[in-house]
């Protein structure tokens, strides 16, 4: 045992890197004086690495190699947090802040990164990503949702075709203002029974006001189809596509009676 301790002390003395002294610590007898000296040197060399660290990557590595739950590791975490906050502050694009976020320690730095990320978002796709990254029901997730709604409303406003508004609807937060506005714009842009019937069935168990508007537009377009129908077959087809119990169906029946052969 004495020889083992002597060899261990020699290993500690010779150690020049954190990796070497950490290995000596692990090989030393548990709770021995030798292990205590190894831990002292491990902390000393780790502090030197922390002091020299100039980047997030360097200080993160120093944190990883420092003794677990030590004052040294605490100092590494403080510096890691400080350097991460500086990187986040300097970020000018979503890509830069995402990179800073993934390199930052959990806690204040990551929260600040998420806030900057939300601020820099210019598209629904970007803000939806940060919404998913934030902790559920947190203030940060609430801010992301607000930005998501804001960007969705802008996209709804810009939509000029059914295809465009359908795509915006697919990306909006569900059961809220943005979805309701998307439905209203979708109804407004519909030019065919097929289009308005599609949006009607998406609204079916959601917003009552939008559902009524969709039904009214469906009936209006069906009435136009009934008016244009020239044959029994065409009137029957328009009747089939019109809403149940609608004015369009009533008009179709009246027209069908007039067209039916004696």
257 within domain boundaries: yes
The pLDDT assigned to 262 comes to 57
In the chain, the percentage of residues whose pLDDT exceeds 90 is 77
Q: What is the separation of C-alpha 201 from the centre of its chain, rounded to a whole number of angstroms?
A: 27
The pLDDT assigned to 59 comes to 97
219 within domain boundaries: yes
Residues 193-220 have a mean pLDDT of: 91
The string of pLDDT tens digits covering residues 143-179 is: 999 999 999 999 999 999 999 999 999 999 998 999 9
Two tokens at 97? Answer: 């802040």
259 within domain boundaries: yes
Give the domain range for residue 237: 190-262
**DSSP assigned state of 242:** S
pLDDT greater at residue 10 or residue 254: 254
Return the closest-CA partner of residue 177 out of 147, 152, 212, 142: 152
DSSP H helices, the chain, are 2-14, 18-27, 33-52, 56-65, 71-90, 94-103, 108-120, 124-133, 139-158, 162-171, 177-189, 193-203, 208-228, 232-241, 247-259
**Average per-residue pLDDT in the chain?**
91
Within 10 Å of residue 93's Cβ, how many Cβ atoms?
Answer: 10
116 within domain boundaries: no
Q: Are 94 and 75 in contact (CB under 8 A)?
A: no
196 within domain boundaries: yes
The number of folded domains in the chain is 1
65 within domain boundaries: no
Place of tokens 């590595």: 61
222 within domain boundaries: yes
pTM over 0.85: no
Distance CA 70, CA 68 (A): 5
Distance CA 241, CA 156 (A): 28
In the chain, the percentage of residues whose pLDDT exceeds 70 is 94
pLDDT at 4 over 50: no
Residues 234-250 have a mean pLDDT of: 94
Return the closest-CA partner of residue 171 out of 114, 102, 121, 98: 121
258 within domain boundaries: yes
Place of tokens 């261990």: 8
């Amino acid at each position: 045992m004495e020889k083992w301790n002597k060899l261990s002390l020699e290993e500690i003395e010779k150690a020049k890197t954190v990796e070497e002294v950490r290995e000596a610590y692990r090989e030393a007898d548990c709770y021995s004086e030798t292990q205590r000296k190894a831990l002292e040197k491990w902390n000393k060399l780790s502090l030197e690495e922390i002091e020299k660290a100039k980047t997030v990557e360097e200080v993160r590595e120093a944190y990883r190699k420092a003794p677990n739950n030590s004052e040294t590791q605490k100092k590494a975490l403080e510096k890691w947090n400080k350097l991460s906050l500086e990187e986040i502050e300097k970020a000018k694009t979503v890509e830069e802040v995402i990179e800073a976020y993934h390199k930052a320690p959990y806690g204040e730095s990551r929260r600040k990164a998420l806030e900057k990320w939300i601020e820099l978002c210019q598209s629904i796709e970007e803000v939806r990503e940060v919404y998913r990254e934030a902790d559920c029901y947190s203030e940060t997730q609430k801010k992301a949702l607000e930005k998501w709604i804001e960007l969705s409303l802008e996209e709804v406003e810009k939509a000029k075709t059914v295809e465009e508004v359908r795509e915006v609807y697919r990306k909006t937060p569900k059961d809220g203002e943005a979805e309701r506005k998307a439905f209203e714009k979708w109804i407004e842009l519909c030019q065919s029974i097929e289009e308005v019937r599609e949006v009607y069935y998406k609204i079916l168990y959601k917003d009552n006001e939008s559902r009524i508007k969709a039904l009214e537009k469906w009936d209006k377009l069906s009435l136009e189809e009934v008016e244009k129908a020239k044959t029994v077959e065409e009137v029957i087809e328009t009747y089939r596509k019109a809403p149940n119990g609608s004015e369009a169906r009533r008009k179709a029946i009246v027209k069908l009676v007039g067209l039916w052969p004696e």
